[in-house]
């Protein structure tokens, strides 16, 4: 595949609208009505869900709404999510140099793309990315809330939490870099059971305790990697939203859980009065 190739949208018309005007309208509506449990400061990292917008879009919007003040600051988004379609040993970067959505093309951060290839646990392969939705569904949100940005789209397969933490750490950067973890929570539990299971998982994340398993979150490995990485950075986790498909789309017999969590830098204590 040519180096300058573009990955076309795989789930437009399924997970989110294919028509640009309809998509922009839906995004604007979700962002304008987003209400977070907390209103923290500027996030360095976020966890957001990746189902169809009718199911998880409003939950994701609570995190993306926080990025508005950073519109001109964030220039690079490091995106990590689980593989749903194809098994991957370690990590997978695409060969494609841009991702397309109905809102336009988003370029890859080429320097990071080249640097990551020095890892022996990472492959460059378009195939795991070709039909994968977990990163794609985040792009339209980013395209409307940020000005100009590049992405580092990493699919996480059979990797350890520590290896994932090391990868995140290598790309941590400064205020120009946002770390984005794409993950849903529990899958296909009854409504009340899902609520209890998801609440426990979220409490563990808020306490910055790694060790989630894939029954708690499909993106458990990248979440655990982020939680390990926070040991080197003074971040506090803030719960923005926690719901499931029974709350957003009706059927409560088998639901999927969704959360948005923001990780913000902890303000150093003021000693001015001492």
Residue 133 has pLDDT above 90, yes or no: yes
Of 2-16, 113-127, 227-241, where does mean pLDDT reach its minimum?
A: 2-16
On whether the CB atoms of residues 140 and 99 are closer than 8 A, the answer is no
Look up residue 93 and give its two tokens: 């970067």
Instruction: Say how many C-beta atoms besides its own lie within 10 A of residue 70's C-beta.
Output: 18
- Which domains does the chain show, CATH number per domain? 6-265 (3.40.830.10)
Instruction: Say how many C-beta atoms besides its own lie within 10 A of residue 189's C-beta.
Output: 21
On whether the CB atoms of residues 146 and 67 are closer than 8 A, the answer is yes
Task: Please report the pLDDT score of residue 268 as a whole number.
Answer: 60
Q: What is the DSSP letter of 51?
A: S
Task: Please report the pLDDT score of residue 36 as a whole number.
Answer: 73
Q: What is the pTM of this model?
A: 0.95
Tens digits of residue pLDDT in 240-259: 999 999 999 878 999 999 99
Task: Please report the pLDDT score of residue 2 as a whole number.
Answer: 43
Task: Please report the pLDDT score of residue 269 as a whole number.
Answer: 53
Tens digits of residue pLDDT in 157-215: 999 999 999 999 999 999 999 999 999 999 999 999 999 999 999 999 999 999 999 99
For the chain, what percent of residues have pLDDT higher than 70? 96
Tens digits of residue pLDDT in 41-74: 789 999 999 999 999 999 999 999 999 999 999 9
């Amino acid at each position: 595949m040519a180096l300058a190739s573009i990955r076309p949208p795989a789930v437009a018309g399924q997970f989110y609208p294919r028509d640009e005007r309809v998509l922009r309208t839906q995004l604007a509506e979700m962002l304008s009505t987003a209400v977070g449990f907390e209103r923290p400061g500027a996030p360095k990292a976020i966890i957001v869900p990746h189902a169809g917008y009718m199911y998880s879009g409003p939950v994701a919007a609570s995190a993306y709404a926080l990025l508005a003040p950073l519109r001109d600051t964030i220039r690079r988004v490091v995106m990590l999510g689980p593989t749903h379609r194809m098994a991957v040993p370690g990590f997978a970067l695409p060969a494609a140099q841009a991702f397309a959505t109905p809102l336009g093309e988003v370029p890859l951060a080429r320097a990071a793309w080249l640097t990551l290839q020095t890892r022996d646990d990472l492959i460059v392969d378009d195939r795991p990315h070709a039909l994968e939705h977990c990163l794609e569904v985040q792009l339209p949100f980013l395209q409307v809330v940020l000005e100009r940005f590049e992405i580092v789209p990493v699919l996480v397969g059979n990797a350890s939490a520590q290896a994932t933490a090391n990868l995140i750490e290598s790309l941590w950067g400064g205020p120009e870099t946002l770390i984005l973890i794409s993950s849903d929570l529990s899958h296909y539990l009854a409504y009340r059971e899902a609520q209890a299971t998801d609440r426990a998982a979220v409490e563990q994340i808020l306490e910055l305790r790694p060790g989630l398993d894939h029954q708690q979150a499909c993106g458990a490995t990248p979440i655990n990697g982020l939680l390990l990485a926070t040991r080197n950075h003074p971040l506090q986790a803030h719960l923005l939203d926690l719901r499931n498909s029974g709350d957003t789309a009706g059927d409560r017999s088998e639901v999927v859980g969704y959360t948005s969590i923001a990780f913000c830098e902890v303000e150093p204590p003021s000693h001015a009065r001492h």
